[in-house]
């Protein structure tokens, strides 16, 4: 939370009480999100929990973070492909380095340059 000092345990390996206090601090520092899901999605989540050996809260946080990362990258790719943002800005929006974003563009098979820009550049030659 903004404005709060970051709390870390000093003796986490040797003092279980301090480790527990740290975990409780982290849990209380996070907001709660509640949602209803269809039965088939819950069944798939249960399979994921067993496969990854995670508790429900950790699994949902992990899946939500991964989904938002994917969304952020797709949105940045779309905005870059549409010419709305520069390569640097798109990389920033995707939370990637410029080189990582360039690799992402290459893997997505999206054009680096729009056809209009390419034709204008060829005319200038």
Q: Specify the pLDDT at position 20.
A: 59
Residue 49 in domain: yes
Give CA–CA dist 77/91, Å, rounded.
Answer: 9
Residue 54 in domain: yes
Residue 55 in domain: yes
Question: Going by C-beta distance under 8 Å and a sequence separation of 6 or more, which residues neighbour residue 121?
Answer: 113
Residue 1 in domain: no
| pLDDT band (50, 70, 90) for residue 57 | confident
CA dihedral 82, 88, 91, 93 (to 10 degrees): -70
Give CA–CA dist 96/71, Å, rounded.
Answer: 13
Per-residue pLDDT for 86 more than 80? yes
Residue 47 in domain: yes
Residue 3 in domain: no
Per-residue pLDDT for 3 more than 80? no
Residue 95 in domain: yes
> Rounded to two decimals, what is the model's pTM?
0.63
Give CA–CA dist 7/4, Å, rounded.
Answer: 9
Which structural domain, as residue segments, surrounds residue 50?
Answer: 38-124
| pLDDT band (50, 70, 90) for residue 83 | confident
Query: For the chain, what percent of residues have pLDDT higher than 90?
Result: 34
Residue 24 in domain: no
- Average pLDDT, stretch 94-110? 91
Q: Specify the pLDDT at position 121.
A: 46
DSSP percent split of the chain into helix, strand, coil, nearest 5: 65, 0, 35
Residue matched to tokens 């409780």: 24
Domains contained in the chain, number: 1
Per-residue pLDDT for 101 more than 80? yes
Per-residue pLDDT for 32 more than 70? yes
């Amino acid at each position: 939370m903004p404005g709060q000092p970051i709390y870390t345990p000093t003796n986490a390996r040797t003092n279980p009480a301090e480790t527990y206090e740290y975990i409780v601090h982290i849990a209380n520092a996070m907001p709660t999100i509640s949602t209803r899901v269809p039965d088939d999605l819950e069944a798939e989540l249960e399979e994921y929990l067993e496969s990854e050996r995670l508790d429900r809260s950790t699994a949902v946080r992990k899946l939500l973070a991964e989904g938002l990362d994917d969304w952020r990258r797709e949105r940045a790719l779309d905005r870059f492909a549409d010419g709305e943002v520069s390569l640097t800005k798109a990389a920033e929006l995707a939370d990637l380095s410029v080189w990582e974003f360039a690799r992402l563009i290459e893997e997505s098979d999206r054009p680096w340059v729009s056809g209009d820009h390419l034709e204008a550049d060829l005319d200038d030659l």
